[in-house]
């Protein structure tokens, strides 16, 4: 199975900051990489699919990039509602599907 | 509007069984693949099982293979996860999700709608 590793596991930032988090695959997955946001006590929500395609309705301050094994999620100007945990997911292969372990974004 | 409503969670003893349901509305289960993803307390997301839109193909994580069975009732537009031989490590919130693909044959699918989850606790 393809392993997904996210870094950092947690980070602290302030409203208005620009933040970047990374996701690395154990083998090349082209651009078959999705990002999800999960707020405390809530279900995950899709943010970005195919590495860089923003889901309809997701604010443009979110962006994704990368291909092969290395990917990034960037939030250009943090808003209070962005403090959450972010997961990457690879869908290069048929299931089993794998997620990264998550990056928790806290308020500094 | 797409909605997924899970039910059936609860407290069960180790070795016991439980059946989770996921009632879908706003789309037809036979036109999209759907999956179950779980989250143990304080932990990350773990994909558990998926079923193709045709219903012909089911997939399982190694951690549940042979113990869990995924099925569907098209007449009720409802997904079921039958869980047997439950272990403490199966304790988690279980989410069902609609996958933006028919049969997982093409790379690049994603889960575009999620239910709110149902809690399964395995404990004596």
Cis peptide before A96 (omega within 30 of 0): yes
Backbone angles phi, psi at A28, to 5 degrees: -65, 135
Pairwise CB contact (< 8 Å): A44 & B46: no
Residues 6+ apart with CB under 8 A from B69: B58, B81, B82, B84
Interface of B with A in 102-121 (CB under 8 A): 104-105, 107-112, 114-117
Name the band, by pLDDT with cuts 50, 70 and 90, for residue B52.
very high
In chain A, the percentage of residues whose pLDDT exceeds 90 is 95
Mean model confidence pLDDT for chain B? 97
DSSP-based helix, strand, coil % in chain A, nearest 5: 5, 50, 50
What CA–CA distances, in Å, run from A52 to A58, A61, B38, B102, B108?
A: 12, 12, 25, 22, 12
Kindly tell me if the per-residue pLDDT of B4 is higher than 90. yes
Q: Which residues in chain B touch residue A94, judged by CB atoms under 8 angstroms apart? A: 59, 104-105
- What pLDDT, on a 0 to 100 scale, did the predictor assign at position B105? 87
Give the whole-angstrom CA distance, residue B58 versus residue B13: 27
Q: Which residues in chain B touch residue A55, judged by CB atoms under 8 angstroms apart? A: 112
Short-list A82, A93, A90, CA closest to A15: A82
- The pair of three-digit structure tokens given for residue B58, joined into one six-digit string: 């089911």
Q: How far is A15 from chain B (nearest CA, A)?
A: 25
pLDDT digits (tens, 9 = 90+) for B23-49: 999 999 999 999 999 999 999 999 999
Using a CB–CB cutoff of 8 Å, tell me whether B2 touches chain A.
no
């Amino acid at each position: 199975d393809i392993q997904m590793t996210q870094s950092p596991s947690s980070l602290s930032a302030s409203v208005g900051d620009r933040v970047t988090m990374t996701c690395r695959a154990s083998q090349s997955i082209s651009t078959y990489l999705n990002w999800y946001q999960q707020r405390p006590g809530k279900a995950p929500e899709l943010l970005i699919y195919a590495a860089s395609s923003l889901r309809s309705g997701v604010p443009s301050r979110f962006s994704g990039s990368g291909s092969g094994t290395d990917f990034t999620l960037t939030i250009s100007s943090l808003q209070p509602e962005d403090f959450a945990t972010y997961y990457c997911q690879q869908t290069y292969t048929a299931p089993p599907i794998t997620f990264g372990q998550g990056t928790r974004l806290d308020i500094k | 509007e797409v909605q997924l409503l899970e039910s059936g969670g609860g407290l069960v003893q180790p070795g016991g069984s439980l059946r989770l349901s996921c009632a879908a509305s706003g789309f037809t289960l036979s036109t999209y693949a759907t999956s179950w993803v779980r989250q143990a307390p304080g932990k990350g997301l773990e994909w558990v099982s998926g079923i193709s839109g045709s219903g012909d193909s089911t997939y399982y994580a190694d951690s549940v293979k042979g113990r869990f069975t995924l099925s569907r009732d098209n007449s009720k537009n409802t997904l079921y996860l039958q869980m047997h031989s439950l272990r403490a490590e199966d304790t988690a919130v279980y989410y069902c999700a609609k996958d933006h693909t028919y049969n997982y044959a093409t790379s690049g699918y994603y889960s575009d709608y999620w239910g709110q989850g149902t809690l399964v606790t395995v404990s004596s």
